[in-house]
Every structure is written in structure tokens, then in C-alpha cells.
Structure 1
Amino acid sequence: MSETALVALRGASFAYEDGPTVLKGLDFDVCEGRALALLGRNGSGKTTLMRLLSGGLRPRDGRLTVEGLPVTYDRKGLTRLRTTVQLVVQDPDDQLFAASVAQDVSFGPLNLGLPDSEVRARVDEALAALDITALADRPTHLLSYGQRKRTAIAGAVAMRPRVLILDEPTAGLDPDGQERLLAALDALRSSGTTVVMATHDVDLALRWADDAALLTPAGVRAGPAPSMLARTDLLQAAGLRLPWGIATAQLLRAHGLLDDATPGPRTAEELAAVFASAAAVERTRADG
């Protein structure tokens, strides 16, 4: 087991009733302080894996551990797990049910039996973290899709988990909504929350994640995002394409505009900076 694994599955297998085995003999680590992107084609087992990590499903074989200790699936064990790991599903309407934003965000802390003052503090903290303090009294049925997404995440954040697992959090958001959500996630990471994001967006994974885990028919392969997302064999097996940043870096290196030691661009702004640097070098040579 990795010494830095906060949450880990070991030898985990799972099959739904009357269905085929979805995951078999899986070893998987969530390392504290690392942003992890989870990628794979539809039906590869991403949702099953996330539910195993968060305690929504129990492995048929193998075990789930938190800081090296096996998780028990009684009330005490699951409460311990869910104060460590929180899962936010893809559709916020599957998670929101209270009349107002603040009431919905308070549901988890109230279920922990916390004093009212502590619940209020957690709600205020979570609303601020997701930049929705102004929506505290807004009825949930009057929220935009992006606001509902952030409210659902705030409900998980109010539990103060050490690991936050998000299923396709940017799906359905416009570009501005995506940027605001990513900014909120960056703030959570800065405050010590480990974030796992399932996504089909390889460009987002390259830009955002420290590590990437690719689910393929042969199993899961994980490692630093730039190297994993450059593996065309694994990407093909996972039903994914090469990220534009990786493809662009390969082209730049082929034309001598980027050396092997310099990371490739992950955003349009970083690409513009590469060209600006190359242009500056050319001007210096011309002046000399």
C-alpha cells in the first residue's frame, strides 16, 4: 500500500445483482493532497468505483481502507467513512431535496448531531467556499443548473471531508460556470481537501489534475497526469483521445519551439506564452 494513500481499495471486486462483474481485483489509491482525475469510457466502472470509495457500495471481495484501517459497514464505520469521504453525483437534482439552499447544505452536519452553532458555522463556510452565500435563502427549485451544482457540492463540503469525489462536475455548465466551479475547487484544494474528479474531458484533466487514473478493460492505470495522458495505448483502451495540450507540445517540440525539459501548454494562455517566448528568442538572435 502506498504510504501516502488516505483512502485505498485492495483486491476489490464488484458485480451488480444478476449482472456481470464490473470491477475485479482492483487496487486503487487516493493520495492525500493530490488532485486526481478518473477517466474511462461509459460502462468502464467509474461510477461503481466512486461509490465503493464513498461507502455507497460494498466490495464483493477485497477491502476499503482509510489511513490503512479497514472500513466496517456498520453505522459507526460508515459514519467515520462519510466524515472522511464525500461523493457528489453528476445530477444535482438527485442530491438536492430541501426547500432552501441553506437548509439543504445543513442536512449532513445536522445528521451528525452537531450543535446548532457548529452547523451554522459549517453552512456559512461551505456557502462561502462555493461562492453562493447570497443564495442561502433561495428556494432550490429556483436555482440555475450551475447554482444547483455548487449547492450540491457545498452540501458535501459542509461535512468537512478530507476527500471530495465529484462525478462529472463540469458537465452541463457553460464556460463561465466551469471556470467559477474550478476556482472553487482550487480554493478547496488550497485549504487541504483532496479532490477526485471523474470526467470524460481529457483537456480538463490535463489542465487540472496532478494525477490521472484510466479505467481500461485490462484494469486501472494511474500516475502523473502529463505522462498518463500522453499514453496513446491507454487512451485508446479507455475510449479517449489525446489531449490537445499533449498533441500541441509534441508539435512544438518537433519544430524546436519547446525543449524536452519544459512542460507543454495546458491552456490557450500557456500556448500563447510559449509562442511569445519563442518570438522573443528569435528577435534576440536577429538583433545579435
Structure 2
Amino acid sequence: MSVPLVSLRGARYAYEDGPTVLDGLDFDVAEGRALALLGRNGSGKTTLMRLLSGGLRPDAGQLSVDGTPVTYDRKGLLRLRTSVQLVVQDPDDQLFAASVAQDVSFGPLNLGLPEPEVRARVAEALAALDIARLADRPTHLLSYGQRKRAAIAGAVAMRPRVLILDEPTAGLDPDGQERLLDTLSRLRASGTTVVMATHDVDLALRWADDAALLTPSGARTGPAPALLSRHQLLAEAGLRLPWGVAVEGVLRARGLAPVDGELPRTAEELVQLLGVRRV
């Protein structure tokens, strides 16, 4: 069995003067897979993401990258953050520089890279997020969707192997969501492993290879279509059944499921399927 790109073993974390959020958690991020992280509010998603990215240190347990334990000194954290980057849900919590290019350059500059390398990384990240035209735009004049992209570009400029996104589609209109998903597809094609925390089970079913559900009895991880079809597990995680799973059941029951090809995961795909079958 291959070594996970990032793994937590026996992780425990409790906030000061608060309850224990995670205890005895084992969690893996496999290289090259799109992973959706789901769970009810308070289940520990944000805490887990911060543990994976080094923003928090577990009270017990071990974080490893490529099988090598992470150390929490300056050198160890720098090494971790060149491998794993977290983008928080609200871009205004992450953007602070006067212009987009200045903000995106912050991480590479902190790595001590030479100026030509920093410029190259900024240009690469802006192009990857399709915001090169906004390089000199003041961050406070950006739309919400543009601020989301700028925040992600700042993480991409670090060239991480794992990009962790907290609710990246929240607050975006349908067109903005589709454009962001296209961007994530391009990042994955270039070799970036993407982890997305979301409450949207339909998005998780459509987008992810694997899903991880945080439940009161621990984390449950597996291929997204199989895991998101388990009614009892979804209920335990405080989630509803995905639309695509429900539609799949109806199509199979009525003999309308395609013999070859994938079942519909969106309303548009369902209309196309039924149109082809002239139903």
C-alpha cells in the first residue's frame, strides 16, 4: 500500500477552555485524489483542516507528509507549508495587501525566493485562476468572486502539493461556481491534490473522487459515490441524501439507467439523458 501524501494518526485537539473537538482521529489525504470533507457544523472540519496545514498543533497524535513526521519548529512548519496550503472560507480574512499581485507574492517572498522566481510564480498563479488582468487591481475593489480567486492564487503561488479549501463555492453565483470548479480541474490536471470542505452533498458527489464524513463516531472515508449513498451514515453526519443518488435510484427502478456511461449528477445531465432516450 502506498504511503499517504498527508496523514494524521491518533490526532486529538481541544481548544482552551473548550470541549475536545477531535480525539483519536486517523485521517489520510491520498495524492492525486479530489477529496470532499463533509460534516455538520461543529463536527471538526475547520479544526481538521488547520491541523493538516499546520495552523494548529495536535494535543496528541502525529501529522506526517510522505511518511515523515512534521516538526513544529520554524524549519518544519516552513517545509509543511510548501507542501500544504489552506484557503479559508472568507477571502477577506486572507487578503491584506494593496493590490492582487502584491498579495499573491507574499508567500513566495517569505520563502526567500529571488525576485524573478517570485514574479514567475505570481504570474503563474494569476493565470491559473484566470485573474491575470487583475494583477494591479486594489484588493478592496474586487468582487466577492474575484476575492475568492485572489485568495486561492496566493496559496497556488506556493506551489503546494495539497490545496485545502474551506467552502470555496460559498457565496458564489452558479456561474462563479462553475468557473471555480473548472479552475480546480486545471489545478488537479497540473498535479495538485485538492481537498474541499463543503456542506453541499450534490457538489461533493459530482466533483470528488473520495469523500470523508466527520461523524460523532469518527471519520468515514471512501469513494464518494459509495459513501454518499449510505443513508444511515449521512444521517449520522447530519447530511441529506444527494440529489444524484436519489435520481439514480429512480432511474434504475424504472429501467431508465444507461447501460454504458455515467448516471446524471446534475439536472442538466438528467435532461440530456432523458432527451436522448426520448422519454
The bucket for the TM-score relative to the shorter chain is over 0.9
Per the TM alignment, residue 109 of structure 1 is displaced from its structure 2 partner at its CA by 0.0
Give me the whole-angstrom Cα distance separating, in 1, the residues matched to 2:201 and 2:246. 12
2:191 maps to: 192
When the two structures are superposed, what TM-score results if normalisation uses the length of structure 1? 0.94
Point out the structure with max Rg over C-alpha.
1
Aligned residue in 2 for 1:116: 115
Distance 1:227 1:261 in 2: 18
Letter paired with 1:256: G
Percent identity over the alignment is 78
After TM superposition, where is structure 1 displaced by more than 6 Å over at least 4 residues in a row? none
Q: Is the 8 A contact 1:246 1:264 kept in 2?
A: no
CA deviation vs aligned residue, 1:109-157 (integer Å, no higher than 9, x gap) = 0000000000000000000000000000000000000000000000000
1:100–1:137 contact (8 Å) kept in structure 2: yes
Structure-2 change in CA distance of 1:262 and 1:227 (3 Å): farther
Q: Any conservation in 1 of the 2:8–2:26 contact (CA below 8 Å)?
A: yes
The equivalent of 1:132 in structure 2 is: 131
After TM superposition, give the deviation of residue 274 of structure 1 in Å. 2.5
Structure 2 gaps, min length 5: none
Aligned to 2:174: 175
Compute the displacement of 1:39 (Å). 0.2
Q: How many residues align?
A: 279
Query: Does the 8 Å CA contact 2:3/2:67 hold for their aligned counterparts?
Result: no
Give, in whole Å, the separation in 2 of the partners of 1:222 and 1:275. Answer: 32
Residue 28 of structure 1: aligned partner: 27
Alignment of 1:36-51 (within 5 A): 36-51=35-50
Q: Matched residue of 2:64: which SS?
A: strand
Structure 2 residue identity aligned to 1:126: A
By how many angstroms is 1:260 displaced? 8.2
- Tell whether the 8 Å contact from 2:35 to 2:211 is kept in structure 1 after alignment: yes
Q: Encode CA deviations 1:19-78: one digit per residue, 9 max, x unaligned.
A: 111001000000000000000000000000000000000111110000001000001100
Q: Secondary structure at the match of 2:270?
A: helix
Structure 2 match to 1:253: 252
- The CA distance in 2 between the partners of 1:46 and 1:261, in whole Å, is 36
Q: How far apart are the structure 2 equivalents of 1:59 and 1:224?
A: 27
Q: Which runs of 5+ in 1 are unaligned?
A: 283-288
Report the Cα distance in structure 2 between the residues aligned to 1:207 and 1:137, rounded to whole angstroms: 35
Match of 1:106, as an amino acid? S
Q: Which residue of 1 aligns with 2:7?
A: 8
Q: Offset of 1:262 from its aligned partner?
A: 5.6
SS state at 1:5 partner: coil
The Cα offsets for residues 248-278 of structure 1, whole Å up to 9 and x where unpaired, read as 0000111111168864311223212331343
Structural RMSD (CA): 1.3
